[in-house]
Amino acid sequence: MSTRLNGIGMTSQRTRARMIERLREQGVKDEAVLAAMFEVPRHLFVDEALASRAYDDVSLPINFNQTISQPYIVARMTEILRNGKPLNRVLEIGTGCGYQAAVLAQVAKDVYTVERIQPLYERARRQLRDLKMRNVSVRYADGTAGLPELAPFDGIIMACAAPTLSAVLREQLAVGGRMVLPVGMQEQWLYLVERDERGFRETRLEPVKFVPLLMGKA
């Protein structure tokens, strides 16, 4: 693996390993998720000026009033989505810089991710291609509609806060599937939506802070 991927100093594998230990202390138990978090070079998904903070447990700006989520939230949401089981087809709403999609690519067979801001879409697509993550498809589209032509999905994850639980997106869940998303405006909570033969079950999990879900392409 190249120095660029491995990182040096504050982006080194030793720093990455400390992030994994912190995630364990914060309660992340899924070894597949922890391995994915170690594998993906988060410092390549942030601006070079912020690379030294890439493995801190903080969200960081990625331009266009968007952020890369803190490692704990990425790991936590991925762990909830997986629920200890292999994932086949996953949909992500809000690609941003592509980091969450890169983590999902380690634990799912196919990842489809949608971004509405064209420069972010182009940057994420380029970065994921450079990292040879061939099981990720990045789409430039309005994420509020999901990708009905590719549904159903085993898992749906949202990296932006919806004002309410999306009926459109939950209908794109496969039976046995899970959707993890932040909901709310001033006060946001992480929700889990599960679908079985009888319908949908919703569970409120923990308070979070995300940028809002917006409609249309930009």
Catalytically annotated residues: 69
Residue in this structure with the two tokens 């993550």, named with its chain if needed: 133
Cα-to-chain-centroid distance, residue 56: 17
The one-letter amino acid code at 36 reads: A
First to last CA, the chain: 36
- Phi/psi of residue 64, nearest 5 degrees: 60, 30
* Distance (Å) of CA 26 to CA 20, 41, 72, 75, 93: 10, 20, 8, 10, 25
Cis upstream peptide for 152 (omega within 30°): yes
Dist. CA 121–CA 210, nearest whole Å: 19
